[in-house]
Amino acid sequence: NTKTVQEETPLEENPEDTDLKFRYDLLSADHEHLKKLLTQYSSLLSQEHDMNEKLERTIQELEDDIKFLIENGELYNFNVELEPSRDELTGDESS
C-alpha cells in the first residue's frame, strides 16, 4: 500500500497563501515597531521620572537656602521682581 506524497505548492503559486504570508509579514513588522516604541516610551518615562526627582530636590534645596538666608538676616525683602519694570526698560525714572 503506497501513499502518494503530494508536493507542496510554492507560496508564489497559491494566491491565498501569498496573501496570508504578506499579512503575517505586515503584522510582524507592526509588532516589532510597537515593541521598539514601547521600549522608547518606557525609557522616556524613566528619564522624566529622574528629571522630576532632580527638579524636586533642586526646589527643596533652593527653599532651604532661602529659609537659611532669611533666618540669618541676609535676605530682607523677598518680594524681588524677576522681570524689569517698564520704567527700567524705557529708562524713564520720573514715575
pLDDT tens-place string over residues 52-69: 999 999 999 999 998 898
pLDDT at 11: 47
pLDDT at 53: 98
Reported as a pLDDT band with limits 50, 70 and 90, residue 85 is low
Q: DSSP for 20-79, please give it.
A: HHHHHHHHHHHHHHHHHHHHHHHHHHHHHHHHHHHHHHHHHHHHHHHHHHHHTTS-----
pLDDT tens-place string over residues 17-54: 888 898 999 999 999 999 999 999 999 999 999 999 99
| Alpha-carbon torsion, ordered 21, 27, 33, 38, to 10 deg | -150
pTM exceeds 0.95, yes or no? no
